[in-house]
Each structure stands twice: as C-alpha cells, then as structure tokens.
Amino acid sequence: MDFGTELKGCVCRINNCAIELFSMEEDLEIEDEDSWDLVGRDLRLKATFMYIDLSRVISSCESDERKKTLTGLANKFFYFMDEVMISVFPLFGQQPSARSMPYFIANSHDESYLHKLSGFMDALDYQISQMPQHLKST
C-alpha cells in the first residue's frame, strides 16, 4: 500500500470516528449500568484510532507550522476526551449517580461536548484541506 493511500485511510477513519463520537452524546446520558462498560470501551477505542491516525497525518505534514497546529488541535482534543472519560466514568469510590454526561457538562467550566468536538473537527478539516491534493481522501 502506498503512503498516500494509507493517509487517505487515516483521514477517512478520523472523519468516521468523529461522526460516531457526535452520535454518542445520547449514549452518555443513559443510566443503565450494564451499558456503561460498552460505552466506555467504545469511547476508548475511537479515541485510540483517532490517536494513531492523527499521529500518522501529523508526521506526514511537510510544514512545521502545520505539524504544530495539528499537534495543538490533537492535544486539546485528547485532553478534552480525558476529561470526559474521568468525569463520565469515575474511578472507584465515586457515586454512580454522578456518572452521566449532563453531570459532566454541569460541573465543567468548558463548552458542551458537541460544541468542543465540532470546533475540533472544523479546525482539523481546515488543516487537512490545506494538505497536498494527493494526500486527501476523495
């Protein structure tokens, strides 16, 4: 597989993971204890794919400025995902009633999950659109 095709696959997976993350906000509002483990695993899996794919996209950038911009965006995104995981999936000793997305949003001084994710994806789409044509997904 050539490098351009691999990068197109990375960009496609990043976009697909982002779309799936957008659709997960309702899943984070469920109160069914049995579903929490699956939702948590799904979030971690999507974040892992995005980490690997973003790393490949960033390393393929020829411009140091673009690398720095994409790295900053990725760092903000993964910091936010860590906040979500810690808040929504609390460690031992915390009350299960605190385990929900509304609780996270109410106790967060930041913007909503969807707003932050949307901002990240818009900025990422812009940066990817500035890449050479042969590296972008079709």
Give the residue extent of every domain in the chain.
3-131
pLDDT for residue 24: 72
Q: Rounded mean pLDDT of 89-113? A: 54
CATH class assigned to 3-131: mainly alpha
Cα separation, 137 vs 6, whole angstroms:
10
Summarised one tens digit per residue, pLDDT across range 69-92 is: 889 888 888 887 887 777 666 654
| 52-71 mean pLDDT | 88
Q: What is the pLDDT of residue 111?
A: 55
In this prediction the pTM is 0.70
Fill in the DSSP letter of residue 130. Answer: T
Kindly provide the b/e burial profile for residues 2-30, where b requires at least 16 CB atoms within 10 angstroms of the residue's own CB.
eeeeebbebbebbbebbeebeebeeebee
